[in-house]
Amino acid sequence: MAALIVSTSGSAIAAAKRNKQLRDQSELAVVRSTKTPSLKRLGVFVSAVICWCLGAHNTAATANCPASEPLTWVQLEAVVDGDTLLLSDGRKVRVIGANTPELGYGGKAGQPLGSEAKTAVTTFFQRGAPVGLQIGQDSADRYGRLLAHVFRSDGISLAEYLIASGLAWHLAIPPNDRYWQCLRQLEAVARKQSLGVWSHSEYVPKPVRPLSSADSGFQRMQGVVQSVNRSNTGWWLHMGDLAIRLQDRDLVYFDEVDPHRWLHQTLTIRGWVIDRSHSGGVKNKGYPPFMINLRHPAMLESIVRE
């Protein structure tokens, strides 16, 4: 049985060129580091040692995904978790572009590497440090947190740091998808090197059957598309216990997508699994009890054609 993995990130050639540039930059940095010692290099070395001890092997010394516009600077008050910060003005910021494992709250056990992700952020940002914000087009989430791309004073973004360290998965949620191609490439490097979440058995793609309420929340899911149906507002793909919704409003982010071509193919996707098993309408119509929204091609990891 032959398998073909189809990329949905746009131009494969462009992505390959950017990956080569990243490798060339990394190799050039190593060559330079063997020639001219400096305090800056010493700081990078110390940071690398700290990250190694934490399991966050980030080797970026310069910003791979620099801010594309001027930033608003605010003082950091505290690190809430790997992807949430508390600012000195009382606002909470949810970092755009990255999702870290959860910490334990209210008696609920935390996920593997959740505490490591938080510790890595406290290494990246010291308390009271200036935090550069580029607020998203959608500026707040359903919890009232500010949505923003977050940067350090040296221009490195927190999402870049976490993803390159293997302590976060890349996210792209429209319309806040700026830098997604750059972040996705950094994730590909971390994945190839089996860093962090990419080497943990807890985070392999989950089969779409059987699913339970315990599977709600962020997941990487994998299954065969059994049916493709059209609704008034978009497309529905059924995979075992999971329904995938692709709305018309988000088709602009995909390159001439035709969901009918995904029928009987194996998809690996990521996103938030929603439990709708208690819905009477879902039960009566025989729909899959769980659902995930596919809003951006970056959240569709692969299509495998058999």
C-beta of residue 146 within 8 angstroms of C-beta of residue 92: yes
Q: In the chain, which stretches have pLDDT less than 70?
A: 1-61, 306
Task: Say what angle helices 39-54 and 114-124 make with each other, to 10 degrees.
Answer: 170
No. of H helices and E strands in the chain? 6, 16
Give SS3 for 216: coil
Longest dimension (CA), the chain: 71
Name the nearest CA neighbour of 287 among 300, 278, 296, 297.
Answer: 278
Where are the alpha helices (H) located in the chain, listed in sequence order? Answer: 12-33, 39-54, 114-124, 158-164, 180-192, 280-285
* CATH class of the domain defined by 204-305: mainly beta
pLDDT 10s digits, 157-198: 999 999 999 999 999 999 999 999 999 999 999 999 999 999
pTM for the whole structure: 0.79
Fold of 15-104+111-199: OB fold (Dihydrolipoamide Acetyltransferase, E2P) (2.40.50)
Residues near 137 by beta carbon (within 8 Å), at least 6 away in sequence: 175, 176
C-beta of residue 299 within 8 angstroms of C-beta of residue 170: no
15-104+111-199 and 204-305 share one CATH topology?
yes
Residues near 155 by beta carbon (within 8 Å), at least 6 away in sequence: 62, 63, 66, 67
Supply the DSSP symbol for 109: P
What pLDDT, on the 0 to 100 scale, is given for residue 33? Answer: 38
Which neighbouring-strand residues pair with 245?
236, 293
What pLDDT, on the 0 to 100 scale, is given for residue 248? Answer: 96
What pLDDT, on the 0 to 100 scale, is given for residue 32? Answer: 38
The domains of the chain are located at 15-104+111-199, 204-305
